[in-house]
Amino acid sequence: MPKKLLLIQAFFKKEFIIYRRYLLNSLGGMITLYVVFLLLLGGFQGLRTLTGVEGDTVEGLVVGYVLWFFMLSTYQDVSYALRNEAKEGTLEQLYMSVHGIGWVMGAKVVAAFFINLMLVAVLLMAALVTTGVTVNVDLFSLFPLVVGTLLGSVGIGFAIGGITLVLKRIDSYTQMVQFLLIALVAAPAGRVMWMRFLPCSYGSNLIAQVMVGGQHITQLGLGNVTAMLFIGIGHLGLGYGVYKLCERKAMVQGTLGHY
Amino acid sequence: MIRVESLVKTYPSRKGKPPIKAVDDISFSVAAGELLGLLGPNGAGIVGIIGPNGAGKTTTVKMLCGLIRPNSGQIVIDGKDLTQRRIAALSKVSAVLEGNRNIYWRLTARENLEFFAALKGLNPAHVRGDIDHYLELFNLTEKANVEARKLSRGMQQKLAIAVALISQSRVVLLDEPTLGLDVQASYEIRQLLKEIVHDQGRTVILTTHDMNVVQDTCQRVIIVNEGRIVADDSVHDLLDLFRVRVYKITIQGVLTPCQRASLLDMEQVIIKEESPERTSISVRLEESQVLYGVIGILGSNNSLIESIDQEQNNFERVFLEIVEGGTQGA
């Protein structure tokens, strides 16, 4: 098996073991998320506009919430992971890997993607059963759109993770990113052209068109999908660039593995 | 194997504090010949980097690991420049930097070894035999399926070292490997380090404050002070270089004021312990006249000499002589 695949497998196994070993804690997190969803459903109807799809439907709320959870988890898998590895003293070991830190973090993100996918599936099922609505789960159409959308949150994760390496202990600020992600999901990128260039917004809009609007990827237009992917790659590159600049500064200051 | 040339590291000023020169023009090398040729049961192949707090030891080791960027100088590992060919260079090195913090506490000992094997580019399935070997070598077989957080500190430290060894790297860097361990755990770690070097032909470079570790395990020692190398020699030669005969004379009772004043006038004499029952005096014997002089002073009041013992030369005294005396290039 190629070494990079082995690395992904190792991260997947590690994450899965910890998830299973601390099952009560993991389930607690899921239940909390579900309760938050119920609160949103009951009291905060304004969130229905999350997806930017005309009509403000319950389906839109479900899709927006699940997508936000996916983006938040992906962001945390990079940003919080860098912070936690530094805190636990293992970040330096990751840096000394023969794969290089870029590949190591990439493998971690890919492994976490599959774990998160399972959690998202459970959360989506629970949300659909609770609300009694149905959405279009066209995996062929959704896969590239979800990947393109999550590239943006990975980029944000790298940027914030990098800043944390330099400034340390800025949790109260980094926690605000979860609210920023809500705004990015809610941004009406379908109607307002410049919002398509925001991280995750264009992809969120296209995903909503598939899941709520019932469209197939071929109906979205090749240009739109390609543009969304390039914007995602751009945000990933930008976030990684910020991370590398911060990493360089941390290496000069000698604070790379400190927290 | 490792060549360090004119390494300089100054930490930039932060929060209004002035810049700190942590490493100031350090050069040394650990040769492949040394790795292969100087192996022996007495810990040959283990190089110690020692110095007082803030001397630049950890900074040096972290620069060797590519974790701190030097201002200038060059680090070459197995012919690969660390700055230009970072990954190729680091593939030859593994490290334990902050003791038991280098492992995942929520994974078991075995899971840690498997994960870090993959991180070093190895297939965990292919190194299962090695994993079993290290678990056994480090006396962790029974704890293989116990989460690292539930192990004792000594066991966590052993696991961290086993994790560093699983990569098969030729050089193992250890930052304070016995820090915070009890006497038994420290002894076990030292024995293991000697075994690793003797049986596997690896070079271990360690930093430590513990002079027992140096004297017991290291063949060669580099002493740094204020960012500079003040001595780089074999432990044996340094002990020889600073060898002086020191005698401990114990008398019954206390010294008279006159005896005390006379003894304190002699540079080579230290009054070490004094109680109504007995008094101990340490005498550095650079010439035999000194001993006669001391005995003469003690005899002037008929003090009863209980014993005269020769004190052992130890590395702690050598270290203090070098660091406090600023001796250059022993």
Query: pLDDT tens, A118-157?
Result: 999 999 999 999 888 899 999 999 999 999 999 999 999 9
Q: Are residues A92 and B102, on separate chains, in Cβ contact within 8 Å?
A: yes
Task: Please check whether residue B102 lies inside any domain of the structure.
Answer: no
Encoded amino acid at A47, one letter: L
* pLDDT confidence tier of residue A220, bands split at 50, 70 and 90: very high
Mutation target vs A (from B58, B72, B104, B171; most A CBs, 10 A cutoff): B104
Q: Point out the domain boundary residue: B180, B211, B240.
A: B240
Q: Is B90 on the interface with A (CB under 8 A)?
A: yes
B59 in contact with A at a CB cutoff of 8 Å?
Answer: yes
Least confident window among A138-142, A177-181, B215-219: B215-219
Number of domains into which chain A is organized: 1
Q: Is residue A45 very low, low, confident or very high in pLDDT (cuts 50, 70, 90)?
A: low
Site of tokens 């007995």: B278
Q: Are residues B292 and B198 in the same domain?
A: no
Residue A56 has pLDDT above 70, yes or no: no
> Per-residue confidence at A195, pLDDT binned at 50, 70, 90?
very high
Kindly state whether residues B229 and B267 are assigned to the same domain.
Answer: no
Whole domain around residue B261: which residue ranges? Answer: 244-312
Are B196 and B272 within one domain? no
Query: Per the domain annotation, does A72 fall within a domain?
Result: yes
The reply to whether A169 touches chain B by the CB within 8 Å rule is no
How many structural domains are present in chain B?
Answer: 2
- Neighbour tally for B9: CB within 10 Å: 24
pLDDT at residue A226 is higher than 70: yes
Domain end among B186, B216, B240 = B240
Say yes or no: B151 contacts chain A, CB-CB below 8 A: no
Average pLDDT over residues B109-117: 95
Residues 96-125 of A with CB under 8 A from B: 96-100, 104
- Is the same domain home to B80 and B215? yes
Partners of B180 in the β-ladder: none
Contacts of B87 in chain A (CB under 8 A): 98-100
Examine the domain organization and report whether B207 and B270 are in the same domain. no
Does B148 map to a domain? no
The two structure tokens encoding residue B262: 């006379």
Highest mean pLDDT among A22-36, A138-152, B166-180, B306-320: A138-152
Identify which has the larger pLDDT, B129 or A255.
B129
Does the pLDDT at position A78 exceed 50? Answer: yes
Cβ A257–B97 below 8 Å, yes or no? Answer: yes
Instruction: Please give the residue of chain B at the shortest CA–CA distance from A251.
Output: B68
Q: B77 and B205, same structural domain?
A: yes
User: Among the listed ranges A34-43, A118-127, B15-24, B53-62, which one has the minimum average pLDDT value?
Assistant: A34-43
Instruction: Please check whether residue A184 lies inside any domain of the structure.
Output: yes
Q: Do B124 and A6 touch (CB under 8 A)?
A: yes
Please check whether residues B270 and B228 belong to one and the same domain.
no
Cα separation, A15 vs A83, whole angstroms: 16
* A9 Cα to chain B: minimum distance (Å): 9
B94 interface with A at CB cutoff 8 Å:
yes
Residues B14 and B56 both lie in one domain: yes
Measure the CA–CA gap between A219 and A209, rounded to whole angstroms: 10
pLDDT at A49 over 60: no
For residues B38 and B13, membership in a common domain is answered with yes
Same domain, B211 and B308: no
Among candidate residues B50, B40, B28, the one with its CA nearest the CA of residue B315: B50
Chain B 16-35, residues with CB within 8 Å of chain A CB atoms: 22
Cβ of A251 and B68 within 8 Å? Answer: yes
User: Closest Cα partner for B281 from B272, B289, B291, B290?
Assistant: B272
CATH code of B45's domain: 3.40.50.300
Contact B121 A22 (CB under 8 A): no
**Which domain covers residue A243, as residue numbers?**
3-253
User: pLDDT value at position B193?
Assistant: 87
Residue A259 within a domain? no
Q: Say whether both B307 and B208 belong to one domain.
A: no
Look at residue A185 and tell me if it is in a domain: yes
pTM over 0.80: yes
> Within this chain, do residues B173 and B265 fall inside the same structural domain, yes or no?
no
Looking at chain B from residue 240 to 269, which residues have their Cβ under 8 Å from any Cβ of chain A? none
| CA-atom Rg of chain B in angstroms | 24
The one-letter amino acid code at B108 reads: T
Helix (H, G, I), strand (E, B) or coil at B75: strand
